[in-house]
């Protein structure tokens, strides 16, 4: 009976998680990706949603405020029972991340007064939620709506907030019908299973993806060239301060060990399936996932800092959980929960499974100073758009047929094999691009880009920062795409800007050199009158 009650309670939580988009944003969860898309540089989709919510409900904040008030009323006038201790610990972690990110957030497109108002409102909301988290729906709304809380690297934190909100509602409703002696044990155990399922599904899904990407379950382990992830990251700007020869030697030496690294990666990701079997096992799995996440940063410059903070928090919590939280029953319940994300229901983590290839291309935003010197706008110059300009944004400016994604990622093994067979021959690479690539030119996106980049860079060139501000900036929340080095010095307002030069580079790593297949200026934008 207890197991059935637990499953019923978790189903109620899952129903609220599935409905959280409509309850707080007025849209289904499936539309969050399109509305809060990183390519929407002027936030037009958010503004449209804001107008729709205002027209339909009179105020954008009415929906999250209603959910917050409902939670407050249920907990205040219902039976007085405390949330499990782990809920408070998770909330404190969420508040630290949300506030740190909000305070660090800078966006030159948005008026300074508007930014200050958003930040002050969020900080006040969090302060009021410390003793009682009933305002968490408002915190979630602001985190996603104003501070890019639905971008890939932030989705885990946002989904944990959704879990917290759904649990608080379900817990309050259960208080009304369940006897006092069973409510805490039932809901506490159910909450831990649900929370762990949400967190570790973000690693299990990629692990399953790597098993299923090839013809056989071990195809990715056997046939992928993981060392090309390092070469592509170096091409993009990760650790470009290191001498090229040393990087090439390291990648060459690594080649013989990649099969062990790939095996370890799949084992670590798939081991998360067994997180609820035993408390000691849970510690080892969480620690191994944390180390795996750090290794992703070392190998690629991709930094999942929010995930790392979540995993570290769980490592401090798991030893405080007794054996009743784990075991065969909890394991099978977690399996039932994981059916939902595996099939794209309730929430859907990214698969993060691909073949690594030696060919990678990127757009460089260069500026020509009034002295004639060339600088580069690294993606950390763009603050709120750091992830956007650290990935594939700008491919639409070219007439290229591009068969890869970001760090040379390929999603079909045959395409990867064809690229390897070219061995860096420019003519053969061009043929492969025509055969497998997607034509990228998009005139409409180009027009939006040009208006955006002129406005942003124009304001960037006028921004003044004293030594204190620069010191504070170093304490800002870390970015997720660390491509902060290149062949040119970073532009830091050394001088006025005369021209903006947009350059496309395509590089093939032969194993002995980084061979430029393509390099040309796509367009020049006169900034002297901006």
Q: How far apart are CA 39 and CA 45, in angstroms?
A: 10
Residue 184's pLDDT is: 62
Task: Judge contact between 490 and 381, C-beta under 8 A.
Answer: yes
Show the CA angle centred on residue 210, arms to residues 204 and 213, nearest 5°.
135
State the DSSP H helix or E strand holding residue 246, giving kind and residue range, or none if neither.
Answer: helix 244-254
CA 407 vs CA 157, 239, 288, 515: distances in Å: 25, 14, 24, 16
Pair 298, 262: CB distance under 8 Å: no
Q: Are 26 and 52 in contact (CB under 8 A)?
A: yes
Task: State the residue for tokens 């470009």.
Answer: 240
DSSP string, 466-517: -HHHHHHHTTSPP-SB-----SSPBPSSSS-EEEEEEEEEEEEE-SS-EEEE
- Using alpha carbons, select from 289, 308, 241 the residue that is nearest to residue 480: 308
SS3 content of the chain, % helix, strand, coil (to 5): 60, 10, 30
Residues forming a β-bridge with 490:
376
Q: Which two tokens stand for residue 171?
A: 């817990």
Residue 66 to residues 71, 129, 335, Cα–Cα distance (Å): 9, 15, 33
Residue 501 φ then ψ, to 5°: -110, 125
Separation of alpha carbons 67 and 54, rounded Å: 17
Q: What are phi and psi of 515, to 5 degrees?
A: -95, 120
Inter-residue contact 500 to 454 (CB < 8 Å): yes
401 exposed, middle or buried (CB, 10 Å; 0-12, 13-18, 19+)?
middle
Which tokens sit at 360?
């990678």
Q: Quick one: pLDDT at residue 181?
A: 47
Q: How far apart are CA 204 and CA 196, in angstroms?
A: 11
At 405 the three-state DSSP class reads: strand
pLDDT tens digit at each of 530 positions of the chain: 677 878 888 999 999 999 999 999 999 999 999 999 989 999 999 999 999 999 998 889 999 999 999 988 888 776 656 677 888 899 999 999 999 999 999 888 888 899 999 999 999 999 999 888 899 999 999 999 999 999 999 999 999 999 999 999 988 887 777 655 456 667 888 999 999 999 999 999 999 999 999 999 999 999 999 999 999 999 999 999 999 999 999 999 998 899 999 999 999 999 999 999 999 999 999 999 999 999 999 999 999 999 999 999 999 999 999 888 999 999 999 999 999 998 888 899 999 999 999 999 999 999 999 999 999 999 888 888 999 999 999 999 999 999 999 899 999 999 999 999 999 999 999 999 999 999 999 999 999 999 999 999 988 888 877 777 777 778 889 999 999 999 999 998 888 899 999 999 999 999 999 999 999 999 999 987 66
Return the residue matching tokens 């690539």.
Answer: 437
The contacts of residue 61 (CB under 8 Å, 6+ apart) are 138, 141
């Amino acid at each position: 009976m207890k197991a059935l009650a637990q499953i019923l309670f978790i189903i109620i939580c899952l129903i609220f998680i599935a409905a959280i988009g409509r309850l707080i944003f007025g849209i289904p969860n499936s539309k969050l990706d399109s509305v809060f898309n990183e390519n929407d540089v002027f936030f037009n989709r958010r503004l449209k949603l804001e107008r729709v919510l205002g027209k339909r409900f009179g105020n954008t904040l009415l929906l999250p405020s209603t959910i917050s008030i409902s939670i407050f009323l249920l907990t205040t006038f219902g039976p007085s029972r405390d949330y499990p201790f782990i809920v408070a610990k998770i909330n404190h972690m969420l508040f630290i991340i949300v506030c740190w990110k909000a305070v660090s957030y800078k966006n030159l497109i948005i008026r300074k007064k508007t930014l200050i108002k958003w930040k002050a409102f969020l900080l006040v909301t969090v302060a009021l939620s410390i003793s009682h988290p009933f305002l968490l729906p408002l915190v979630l709304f602001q985190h996603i709506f104003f501070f890019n809380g639905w971008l890939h690297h932030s989705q885990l934190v946002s989904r944990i907030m959704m879990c917290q909100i759904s649990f608080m509602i379900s817990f309050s409703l259960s208080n009304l019908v369940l006897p006092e002696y069973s409510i805490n044990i039932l809901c506490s155990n159910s909450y831990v299973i649900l929370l762990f399922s949400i967190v570790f599904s973000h690693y299990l899904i990629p692990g399953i993806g790597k098993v299923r990407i090839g013809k056989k379950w071990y195809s990715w382990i056997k046939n992928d060239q993981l060392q090309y992830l390092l070469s592509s990251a170096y091409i993009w700007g990760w650790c470009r301060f290191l001498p090229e020869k040393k990087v090439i030697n390291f990648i060459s030496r690594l080649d013989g060990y990649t099969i062990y690294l790939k095996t370890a990666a799949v084992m670590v990701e798939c081991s998360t399936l067994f997180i609820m079997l035993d408390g000691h096992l849970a510690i080892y799995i969480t620690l191994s996932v944390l180390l795996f996440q750090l290794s992703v940063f070392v190998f690629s410059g991709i930094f999942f800092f929010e995930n790392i903070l979540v995993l570290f928090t769980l490592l401090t919590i798991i030893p405080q959980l007794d054996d009743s939280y784990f075991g065969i029953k909890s394991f099978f319940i977690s399996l039932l929960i994981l059916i939902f994300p595996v099939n794209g229901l309730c929430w859907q983590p990214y698969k993060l499974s691909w073949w690594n290839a030696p060919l990678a291309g990127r757009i460089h935003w260069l500026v020509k100073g009034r002295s004639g010197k060339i600088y580069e706008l690294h993606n950390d110059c763009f603050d709120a758009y750091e992830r956007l300009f650290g990935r594939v944004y700008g491919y639409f400016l070219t007439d290229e047929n591009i068969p890869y994604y970001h760090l040379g990622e390929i999603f079909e093994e045959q395409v990867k094999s064809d690229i390897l067979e070219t061995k860096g021959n420019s003519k053969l690479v061009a043929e492969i691009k025509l055969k497998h690539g997607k034509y990228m030119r998009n005139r409409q996106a180009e027009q939006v880009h040009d208006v955006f980049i002129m406005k942003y860079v124009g304001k960037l060139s006028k921004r003044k920062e004293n030594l204190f501000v620069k010191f504070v900036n170093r304490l800002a929340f870390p970015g997720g795409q660390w491509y902060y080095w290149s062949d040119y010095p970073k532009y830091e307002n050394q001088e006025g800007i005369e021209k903006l030069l947009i350059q496309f580079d395509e590089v093939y790593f032969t194993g002995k050199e980084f061979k430029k297949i393509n390099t040309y200026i796509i367009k020049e934008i006169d900034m002297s009158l901006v």
